[in-house]
Structure 1
Amino acid sequence: MKKHLISALRSERRRNYTMNASIVSAVFMIMIWAGLLTGFIMIGIKRCLHFLSPLQMPFVFLIVGLVVSVIIGTCISAAVASKIVRPVREVKKAMHRVEKGDFSQRLEVTGFNGEIDELIESYNKMAQELGGIEMFRENFINSFSHEFKTPIVSIQGFAKQLKKENLSEEKKQEYIDIIISESRRLTNLSSNILMLSKLENQQIITDKTSFSLDEQIRNCILLLEKQWTAKDISFDIDMQEIQYTTNAEMLSQVWVNIIGNAIKFSPEGSSIRVKLFKEGDVITAEITDRGIGMDQQTISHIFERFYQGDRAHASEGNGLGLPLVKRIVELCNGNIRVESQYGKGTNFIVTLPENG
Structure 2
Amino acid sequence: MIKTLYLRVVLTFSTVVVISVCLAFPIAMFLYTDDISTEVEQVLTKIGNQIISMSKELDPEDLDAFLEGTTELNESYALTLFDSDKKPHAFGMPNKDFMKLQPEVIDQVLQGQTYKKLQLQFGKFQDPAKVNIGLPLTVDGKQYALFISPKITDKSKAQIRTGVAFVLLIVLIIGSLLILIASRYIVSPIKKLTVATNRLARGNFNVNLKVNQKDEIGLLTESFIHMASELKQLEQMRQDFVSNVSHEIQSPLTSIRGFSKALRKHDLPEADRQRYLEIIERESERLSRLSENLLKLASLDTEHHPFTPMTYDLDEQLRRVVVFYEPQWSEKHLELDLDLPRVKIVADIDQLNQVWINLLGNAIKFTPEHGKISVRLEPRTDHIRVLVEDTGIGIRKEDQDRIFERFYKADASRQRDIGGNGLGLSIVRKIVEMHQGFIEVQSKPGEGTLFIVILPVMARRQKQTKA
Q: Could you say whether these structures have the same fold, taking a TM-score greater than 0.5 normalized by the shorter chain as the test?
A: yes
1:192 CA displacement: 0.9
Identify the match of residue 348 of structure 2 among 237, 240, 247. Answer: 247
Identify the match of residue 240 of structure 2 among 139, 161, 173. Answer: 139
Uncovered stretches (5+) of structure 1, i.e. residues with no partner: 1-18, 32-64
Question: Which amino acid is 2:204 matched to?
Answer: D
1:312 CA displacement: 2.9
Identify the match of residue 82 of structure 1 among 184, 193, 198. Answer: 184
2:459 corresponds to 1:353: no
Q: Percent identity?
A: 38
1:179-214: per-residue Cα shift (whole Å, max 9, x none)?
111111111111111111111113786333333211
How far apart, in 1, do the equivalents of 2:17 and 2:198 lie?
A: 31
- Contact 2:17-2:172 within 8 A present in 1 as well: no
1:343 CA displacement: 1.8
Determine the structure 2 residue equivalent to 1:46: none
Determine the structure 1 residue equivalent to 2:202: 100
- Contact 1:158-1:179 within 8 A present in 2 as well: yes
Q: Max radius of gyration: which structure?
A: 2
- Contact 2:385-2:453 within 8 A present in 1 as well: yes
- Contact 1:205-1:332 within 8 A present in 2 as well: no
- Aligned ranges for residues 265-276 of structure 1 at < 5 Å? 265-276=366-377
Question: Which has the larger displacement, 115-124 or 185-194?
Answer: 115-124
- Contact 1:204-1:331 within 8 A present in 2 as well: no
- Contact 2:193-2:221 within 8 A present in 1 as well: yes
Cα RMSD for the two superposed structures: 3.0
Identify the match of residue 177 of structure 1 among 278, 295, 307. Answer: 278
- Aligned ranges for residues 95-174 of structure 1 at < 5 Å? 95-111=197-213, 114-174=215-275
Question: Which amino acid is 2:185 matched to?
Answer: K
How far apart, in 2, do the equivalents of 1:249 and 1:325 lie?
A: 12
Question: Which has the larger displacement, 225-234 or 339-348?
Answer: 225-234
1:82 CA displacement: 3.3
Question: Which amino acid is 2:211 matched to?
Answer: V
Identify the match of residue 379 of structure 2 among 253, 278, 284. Answer: 278
Uncovered stretches (5+) of structure 2, i.e. residues with no partner: 1-8, 22-166, 460-467
How far apart, in 2, do the equivalents of 1:23 and 1:232 lie?
A: 83
Determine the structure 1 residue equivalent to 2:441: 338
1:218 CA displacement: 1.5
Higher RCO, 1 vs 2 (CA within 8 Å, ≥6 residues apart): 1
1:84 CA displacement: 2.6
1:114-173: per-residue Cα shift (whole Å, max 9, x none)?
222122111111111111111111111111111111111111111111111221111111
Question: Which amino acid is 2:193 matched to?
Answer: V
- Aligned ranges for residues 212-231 of structure 1 at < 5 Å? 212-231=313-332
How far apart, in 2, do the equivalents of 1:69 and 1:333 lie?
A: 62
Determine the structure 1 residue equivalent to 2:35: none
SS class of match (1:301) = coil
Determine the structure 2 residue equivalent to 1:51: none
Q: Rate the CA distance shift 1:72–1:288 in 2: closer, same or farther, 3 A.
A: same
2:443 corresponds to 1:328: no
* Larger proportion of helix: 1
How far apart, in 1, do the equivalents of 2:315 and 2:246 lie?
A: 38
1:269 CA displacement: 0.8
Identify the match of residue 335 of structure 2 among 226, 234, 238. Answer: 234
How far apart, in 1, do the equivalents of 2:400 and 2:201 lie?
A: 36
1:11-40: per-residue Cα shift (whole Å, max 9, x none)?
xxxxxxxx89x968x989xx9xxxxxxxxx
- Contact 1:205-1:246 within 8 A present in 2 as well: no
Q: Rate the CA distance shift 1:204–1:162 in 2: closer, same or farther, 3 A.
A: closer
- Contact 2:17-2:175 within 8 A present in 1 as well: no
How far apart, in 2, do the equivalents of 1:186 and 1:221 lie?
A: 26
How far apart, in 2, do the equivalents of 1:159 and 1:203 lie?
A: 40
- Count of equivalent residues: 302
